[in-house]
Structure 1
Amino acid sequence: MTYCQAVQQMDADNPNVYYHDYEYGFPLTDDDELFGRLILEINQAGLSWITILKKKDNFRTAYSGFSIEQVASYGENDRGRLLNDAGIIRNRLKVDATIYNAQQILLLQQEYGSFKNWLDQHHPKTKEEWVKLFKKHFKFVGGEIVNEFLMSTGYLPGAHEPSCPIFAKIKELNPAWMKG
């Protein structure tokens, strides 16, 4: 078996290697972690993924441990704090979208019990159907962001090549991974 082509050429200390081996494509069950992944994907737009991975801990700290409830309650002081935090991406559209999206997830939790339940109830869908659904509920969620979020959390296939040993691990953890 060979690893995905993207990580074959990387040094072992590259954060992408750890992400590939232990996070990318693995199913998430915790709503706050799902929200955290969405935050990272939104902030990656226009930047390299390694930039986001290097700032991941800073994002977690800046956004209250990815607590949906806390981020949903952020006001102007929090916006200002985030826009002045050099440890994260300081983009007003991304900050505003993150706060809005947390508020939207709270509404989905009220209706479906959890963000994960909402995702599960809509699975499987094509990428195009997912994008349309996400755009109905969230901000700053174009096709690539939605695709990467869903691949990285196991809702769409494509995170790993079939010859990659991680592909087999994920398939064992999440047989429904191949649907979508």
Structure 2
Amino acid sequence: MSYCNYIPSMPSPQRELHQAYHDHHYGFPIHDDNELFARLIMEINQAGLSWETILKKEATFRLAYHNFDIATVAAYTEEDRARLMADAGVIRNRLKINAAIENANVILRLQKEHGSFENWISLHHPKKKEEWVKLFKKTFRFTGGEIVNEFLMSIGVLPGAHHSQCPVYEQVLAHKPLWQLG
């Protein structure tokens, strides 16, 4: 059952939480590097947990990770790691926290080399899911197959975020995907 079909069967307020993400974020292209980083970090933190847990914690993630400002997160110190490990508003997993910091540094490098994280993604399009997974595993930390697939679907690079009968499907298509910019 797809996300589109599953949401109506959810009880309220769970349904409203998922519906808002589905209708306004999931599958829509993101053109801001900090927001791309935010989505990647949220997908990484979802590993082993429900997406609902991440949606409920998004606001506290944004506070704890300085609104996912890449340069700020890349400069985090041991004190920042300790602060995040003590913050119940985020997922307190050392590997995921370290991945956020290391991946921020990788994105800074990609920005220097390609102008932006978005440009780096666009440069590699099109690829099959398996090729994307291989590229992300080589480039980033804590990026397995499901994380990469969901990240790329959620930002409009890979298809599958919505089925063709979903009312949001046409809205997503109306937005320019990352690889069609420029």
Q: What residue number does 2:90 align with?
A: 88
> 2:33 pairs with 11, 31, 34, which one?
31
Structure 1 Cα separation of the partners of residues 173 and 115 of structure 2: 26
Query: Which AA in structure 1 matches 2:10?
Result: M
Q: What residue number does 1:168 align with?
A: 170
> 2:81 pairs with 64, 79, 82, which one?
79
Q: Check whether the contact 1:36–1:66 (CA below 8 A) recurs between aligned residues.
A: yes
Structure 2 Cα separation of the partners of residues 176 and 81 of structure 1: 34
What's the % identity of the aligned pairs? Answer: 61
Q: What residue number does 2:144 align with?
A: 142
> 1:100 pairs with 102, 107, 117, which one?
102
Deviation at residue 13 of structure 1 after TM alignment: 3.5
**Within the alignment, does 1:52 sit opposite 2:54 as a pair?**
yes
Structure 1 Cα separation of the partners of residues 27 and 44 of structure 2: 17
> 2:43 pairs with 41, 44, 50, which one?
41
Q: Check whether the contact 2:74–2:104 (CA below 8 A) recurs between aligned residues.
A: yes
Residues 157 and 86 from structure 1, CA distance in 2 versus in 1: closer, same or farther, beyond 3 angstroms?
same
User: What is the CA deviation profile of residues 52-90 of structure 1, one whole-angstrom value per residue up to 9, with x for unaligned ones?
Assistant: 000000101100110000000001000000000001100
Task: State the TM-score, normalizing by the size of structure 2.
Answer: 0.93
Indicate the SS of the match to 1:55.
helix
Q: What residue number does 2:8 align with?
A: 8
Query: Which AA in structure 2 matches 1:138?
Result: F
RMSD of the TM alignment (CA)?
A: 1.4
User: What is the CA deviation profile of residues 9-40 of structure 1, one whole-angstrom value per residue up to 9, with x for unaligned ones?
Assistant: 13464311100000000000000000000010
Structure 2 Cα separation of the partners of residues 22 and 10 of structure 1: 18
Task: State the TM-score, normalizing by the size of structure 1.
Answer: 0.94
Indicate the SS of the match to 1:24.
coil
Indicate the SS of the match to 1:52.
helix
Query: Which AA in structure 2 matches 1:45?
Result: A
Q: Check whether the contact 1:82–1:95 (CA below 8 A) recurs between aligned residues.
A: yes
